[in-house]
Structure 1
Protein backbone atom coordinates (compact mmCIF):
# COMPACT_ATOMS: atom_id res chain seq x y z
CA UNK A 1 0.00 0.00 0.00
CA UNK A 2 1.39 3.36 -1.04
CA UNK A 3 1.07 6.23 1.45
CA UNK A 4 1.45 9.83 0.26
CA UNK A 5 1.52 12.67 2.80
CA UNK A 6 1.15 16.27 1.68
CA UNK A 7 1.30 19.50 3.67
CA UNK A 8 -0.39 22.69 2.55
CA UNK A 9 0.72 26.03 3.99
CA UNK A 10 3.07 24.43 6.52
CA UNK A 11 6.04 22.07 6.76
CA UNK A 12 5.28 18.51 7.88
CA UNK A 13 7.47 17.45 10.80
CA UNK A 14 9.07 14.00 10.82
CA UNK A 15 7.13 13.18 14.00
CA UNK A 16 3.79 13.96 12.30
CA UNK A 17 4.81 11.95 9.21
CA UNK A 18 5.78 8.93 11.34
CA UNK A 19 2.59 9.21 13.42
CA UNK A 20 0.37 9.32 10.33
CA UNK A 21 2.21 6.51 8.55
CA UNK A 22 1.99 4.25 11.59
CA UNK A 23 -1.74 4.82 12.00
CA UNK A 24 -2.44 4.40 8.27
CA UNK A 25 -0.69 1.00 8.21
CA UNK A 26 -3.41 -0.29 10.55
CA UNK A 27 -6.00 0.10 7.77
CA UNK A 28 -4.69 -3.08 6.16
CA UNK A 29 -6.63 -5.14 8.73
CA UNK A 30 -9.83 -4.51 6.75
CA UNK A 31 -8.45 -6.64 3.86
CA UNK A 32 -10.14 -4.55 1.15
CA UNK A 33 -7.16 -4.59 -1.27
CA UNK A 34 -6.20 -0.98 -0.63
CA UNK A 35 -3.82 0.39 -3.25
CA UNK A 36 -2.99 3.89 -2.04
CA UNK A 37 -3.72 6.35 0.74
CA UNK A 38 -3.28 10.11 0.33
CA UNK A 39 -3.17 12.24 3.49
CA UNK A 40 -3.40 16.03 3.18
CA UNK A 41 -2.59 18.25 6.16
CA UNK A 42 -3.64 21.87 5.76
CA UNK A 43 -3.45 24.96 7.96
CA UNK A 44 -5.79 27.95 7.54
CA UNK A 45 -5.28 30.57 10.24
CA UNK A 46 -6.28 28.70 13.42
CA UNK A 47 -7.89 25.71 11.71
CA UNK A 48 -5.95 22.51 11.20
CA UNK A 49 -7.53 20.30 8.54
CA UNK A 50 -6.79 16.65 7.85
CA UNK A 51 -8.12 14.90 4.75
CA UNK A 52 -7.55 11.20 4.03
CA UNK A 53 -8.40 9.62 0.67
CA UNK A 54 -8.24 5.85 0.22
CA UNK A 55 -8.14 4.19 -3.19
CA UNK A 56 -8.49 0.48 -3.75
CA UNK A 57 -9.90 -2.07 -6.11
CA UNK A 58 -13.41 -0.77 -6.77
CA UNK A 59 -13.14 1.57 -3.80
CA UNK A 60 -12.68 5.28 -3.24
CA UNK A 61 -13.54 6.86 0.09
CA UNK A 62 -12.62 10.10 1.79
CA UNK A 63 -12.76 11.57 5.30
CA UNK A 64 -12.09 15.20 6.22
CA UNK A 65 -12.02 16.79 9.68
CA UNK A 66 -10.76 19.97 11.30
CA UNK A 67 -9.60 20.90 14.78
CA UNK A 68 -7.31 23.32 16.59
CA UNK A 69 -4.62 20.61 16.76
CA UNK A 70 -3.27 18.70 13.74
CA UNK A 71 -3.00 15.38 15.58
CA UNK A 72 -6.61 15.67 16.79
CA UNK A 73 -7.83 16.49 13.27
CA UNK A 74 -5.96 13.47 11.89
CA UNK A 75 -7.34 11.15 14.58
CA UNK A 76 -10.91 12.34 13.90
CA UNK A 77 -10.61 11.85 10.15
CA UNK A 78 -8.97 8.44 10.64
CA UNK A 79 -11.81 7.43 12.96
CA UNK A 80 -14.39 8.40 10.34
CA UNK A 81 -12.47 6.50 7.69
CA UNK A 82 -12.27 3.39 9.88
CA UNK A 83 -16.06 3.46 10.31
CA UNK A 84 -16.53 3.67 6.53
CA UNK A 85 -14.04 0.87 5.84
CA UNK A 86 -15.61 -1.26 8.57
CA UNK A 87 -19.00 -0.96 6.88
CA UNK A 88 -17.50 -1.89 3.52
CA UNK A 89 -15.69 -4.85 5.10
CA UNK A 90 -18.94 -6.12 6.66
CA UNK A 91 -20.78 -5.76 3.35
CA UNK A 92 -18.10 -7.74 1.55
CA UNK A 93 -18.33 -10.50 4.18
CA UNK A 94 -22.14 -10.62 3.96
CA UNK A 95 -22.17 -10.75 0.17
CA UNK A 96 -22.76 -14.32 -0.94
CA UNK A 97 -21.97 -15.58 -4.40
CA UNK A 98 -24.55 -18.01 -5.72
CA UNK A 99 -23.83 -20.60 -8.36
CA UNK A 100 -26.91 -19.68 -10.40
CA UNK A 101 -28.61 -23.03 -9.87
CA UNK A 102 -32.28 -23.52 -9.10
CA UNK A 103 -31.64 -25.11 -5.75
CA UNK A 104 -33.27 -28.41 -6.75
CA UNK A 105 -31.44 -31.64 -7.24
CA UNK A 106 -31.94 -33.52 -10.47
CA UNK A 107 -33.67 -36.83 -9.90
CA UNK A 108 -33.33 -39.65 -12.38
Structure 2
Protein backbone atom coordinates (compact mmCIF):
# COMPACT_ATOMS: atom_id res chain seq x y z
CA UNK A 1 0.00 0.00 0.00
CA UNK A 2 1.29 3.42 -0.93
CA UNK A 3 1.49 6.17 1.72
CA UNK A 4 1.07 9.80 0.64
CA UNK A 5 1.70 12.69 3.03
CA UNK A 6 0.46 16.25 2.58
CA UNK A 7 1.38 19.04 5.01
CA UNK A 8 -0.41 22.37 5.24
CA UNK A 9 1.11 25.12 7.41
CA UNK A 10 3.28 22.55 9.20
CA UNK A 11 6.08 20.07 8.55
CA UNK A 12 5.96 16.29 8.64
CA UNK A 13 8.93 14.81 10.46
CA UNK A 14 10.52 11.43 9.83
CA UNK A 15 9.40 10.40 13.31
CA UNK A 16 5.77 11.05 12.36
CA UNK A 17 6.21 9.16 9.05
CA UNK A 18 7.58 6.13 10.93
CA UNK A 19 4.76 6.36 13.48
CA UNK A 20 2.15 6.32 10.69
CA UNK A 21 3.90 3.46 8.87
CA UNK A 22 3.72 1.30 12.01
CA UNK A 23 0.00 1.96 12.48
CA UNK A 24 -0.86 1.34 8.83
CA UNK A 25 -0.30 -2.40 9.23
CA UNK A 26 -3.66 -2.59 11.03
CA UNK A 27 -5.42 -1.05 8.02
CA UNK A 28 -3.84 -3.56 5.66
CA UNK A 29 -5.23 -6.41 7.77
CA UNK A 30 -8.82 -5.13 7.76
CA UNK A 31 -9.17 -3.59 4.29
CA UNK A 32 -9.85 -5.84 1.31
CA UNK A 33 -7.36 -4.49 -1.22
CA UNK A 34 -5.95 -1.16 -0.05
CA UNK A 35 -4.22 0.79 -2.78
CA UNK A 36 -3.14 4.01 -1.08
CA UNK A 37 -3.55 5.99 2.12
CA UNK A 38 -3.45 9.79 1.97
CA UNK A 39 -2.48 11.47 5.25
CA UNK A 40 -3.12 15.23 5.32
CA UNK A 41 -1.83 17.17 8.32
CA UNK A 42 -2.72 20.84 8.79
CA UNK A 43 -2.15 23.33 11.58
CA UNK A 44 -5.14 25.35 12.79
CA UNK A 45 -4.66 28.98 13.72
CA UNK A 46 -6.80 30.15 16.59
CA UNK A 47 -7.01 33.75 15.34
CA UNK A 48 -5.13 36.86 16.47
CA UNK A 49 -1.84 35.05 15.93
CA UNK A 50 -2.67 32.20 18.33
CA UNK A 51 -1.63 28.73 17.26
CA UNK A 52 -4.31 26.06 17.54
CA UNK A 53 -4.18 22.29 17.37
CA UNK A 54 -3.48 19.98 14.46
CA UNK A 55 -6.01 18.49 12.05
CA UNK A 56 -5.41 15.09 10.42
CA UNK A 57 -7.40 13.69 7.49
CA UNK A 58 -7.03 10.07 6.40
CA UNK A 59 -8.29 8.91 3.00
CA UNK A 60 -8.05 5.23 2.13
CA UNK A 61 -8.42 4.34 -1.53
CA UNK A 62 -9.22 0.67 -2.07
CA UNK A 63 -10.97 -1.55 -4.58
CA UNK A 64 -14.35 -0.67 -3.05
CA UNK A 65 -15.56 2.67 -1.76
CA UNK A 66 -13.20 5.35 -0.47
CA UNK A 67 -12.99 5.46 3.33
CA UNK A 68 -12.32 8.82 5.05
CA UNK A 69 -11.72 9.85 8.63
CA UNK A 70 -10.56 13.12 10.17
CA UNK A 71 -9.89 14.47 13.61
CA UNK A 72 -8.46 17.38 15.57
CA UNK A 73 -5.99 17.09 18.42
CA UNK A 74 -3.46 18.95 20.52
CA UNK A 75 -0.67 17.60 18.32
CA UNK A 76 -0.53 15.60 15.10
CA UNK A 77 0.06 12.31 16.94
CA UNK A 78 -3.10 12.64 19.03
CA UNK A 79 -5.12 13.76 16.01
CA UNK A 80 -3.78 10.85 13.95
CA UNK A 81 -4.67 8.33 16.67
CA UNK A 82 -8.26 9.64 16.85
CA UNK A 83 -8.67 9.60 13.07
CA UNK A 84 -7.12 6.13 12.88
CA UNK A 85 -9.60 4.84 15.46
CA UNK A 86 -12.50 6.20 13.42
CA UNK A 87 -11.16 4.65 10.22
CA UNK A 88 -10.64 1.27 11.90
CA UNK A 89 -14.24 1.31 13.12
CA UNK A 90 -15.49 1.99 9.59
CA UNK A 91 -13.34 -0.83 8.21
CA UNK A 92 -14.53 -3.24 10.92
CA UNK A 93 -18.17 -2.46 10.14
CA UNK A 94 -17.61 -2.89 6.39
CA UNK A 95 -15.86 -6.20 6.94
CA UNK A 96 -18.61 -7.42 9.28
CA UNK A 97 -21.25 -6.70 6.63
CA UNK A 98 -19.45 -9.00 4.21
CA UNK A 99 -19.36 -11.94 6.63
CA UNK A 100 -21.83 -14.77 6.28
CA UNK A 101 -23.71 -14.99 9.58
CA UNK A 102 -25.55 -18.27 8.95
CA UNK A 103 -24.91 -21.67 10.53
CA UNK A 104 -21.62 -20.90 12.17
CA UNK A 105 -20.07 -18.97 9.26
CA UNK A 106 -20.89 -21.64 6.69
CA UNK A 107 -21.86 -20.78 3.15
CA UNK A 108 -25.65 -21.02 2.76
CA UNK A 109 -26.89 -23.74 0.43
CA UNK A 110 -28.23 -22.88 -2.98
CA UNK A 111 -31.81 -23.85 -3.82
CA UNK A 112 -30.52 -26.61 -6.10
CA UNK A 113 -28.32 -28.10 -3.37
CA UNK A 114 -31.04 -27.91 -0.75
CA UNK A 115 -33.72 -29.47 -2.98
CA UNK A 116 -31.41 -32.27 -4.16
CA UNK A 117 -30.73 -33.31 -0.56
CA UNK A 118 -34.40 -33.09 0.42
CA UNK A 119 -35.56 -35.20 -2.54
CA UNK A 120 -32.90 -37.82 -1.80
CA UNK A 121 -34.24 -38.26 1.74
CA UNK A 122 -37.85 -38.93 0.62
CA UNK A 123 -36.88 -41.02 -2.43
CA UNK A 124 -38.39 -38.68 -5.04
CA UNK A 125 -36.94 -37.66 -8.38
CA UNK A 126 -37.34 -33.98 -9.33
CA UNK A 127 -39.13 -33.23 -12.60
CA UNK A 128 -37.03 -32.47 -15.64
CA UNK A 129 -37.43 -29.14 -17.46
CA UNK A 130 -39.05 -30.99 -20.39
CA UNK A 131 -41.72 -32.49 -18.09
CA UNK A 132 -42.47 -29.05 -16.64
CA UNK A 133 -42.86 -27.51 -20.11
CA UNK A 134 -45.12 -30.36 -21.26
CA UNK A 135 -47.42 -30.02 -18.24
CA UNK A 136 -47.57 -26.23 -18.63
CA UNK A 137 -48.50 -26.58 -22.31
CA UNK A 138 -51.26 -29.11 -21.48
CA UNK A 139 -52.81 -26.79 -18.86
CA UNK A 140 -53.10 -23.96 -21.36
CA UNK A 141 -54.67 -26.07 -24.08
CA UNK A 142 -58.47 -25.88 -24.16
CA UNK A 143 -60.06 -29.30 -23.84
CA UNK A 144 -63.66 -30.02 -24.93
CA UNK A 145 -64.75 -30.86 -21.37
CA UNK A 146 -63.29 -27.59 -20.03
CA UNK A 147 -65.06 -25.50 -22.72
CA UNK A 148 -68.55 -26.92 -21.93
Q: Which runs of 5+ in 2 are unaligned?
A: 46-51, 126-148
Q: Pick from 90, 94, 100: which aligns with 1:94?
A: 100
- Post-superposition shift, 1:32? 1.1
Shift of residue 20, structure 1, vs aligned partner: 1.1
Matches within 5 A, 1:7-22: 7-22=7-22
**Structure 1 segments of 4+ aligned residues over 4 angstroms from their partners:** 95-100
CA distance in 2 between counterparts of 1:27 and 1:95 reads 23
Relative to 1, partners in 2 of residues 1:10 and 1:31: Cα closer, same or farther, differing over 3 Å? closer
Contact 2:31–2:91 at 8 Å: present in 1 too? no
Q: Distance in 1 between matches of 2:99 and 2:55?
A: 33
- C-alpha spacing 1:92/1:77, structure 2 compared with 1 (3 Å): same
How far is the alpha carbon of 1:3 from its aligned partner?
A: 1.0
Aligned to 1:4: 4
Bigger drift between 85-94 and 24-33 goes to 24-33
What's the TM-score once normalised by structure 2's chain length?
0.65
Which of the pair has the greater relative contact order for Cα pairs under 8 Å at 6+ separation? 1
| Uncovered stretches (5+) of structure 1, i.e. residues with no partner | none
Larger Rg: 2
Q: Does 1:75 align with 2:85?
A: no
Q: 1:26 deviation in Å?
A: 2.1
Q: CA RMSD in A?
A: 2.0
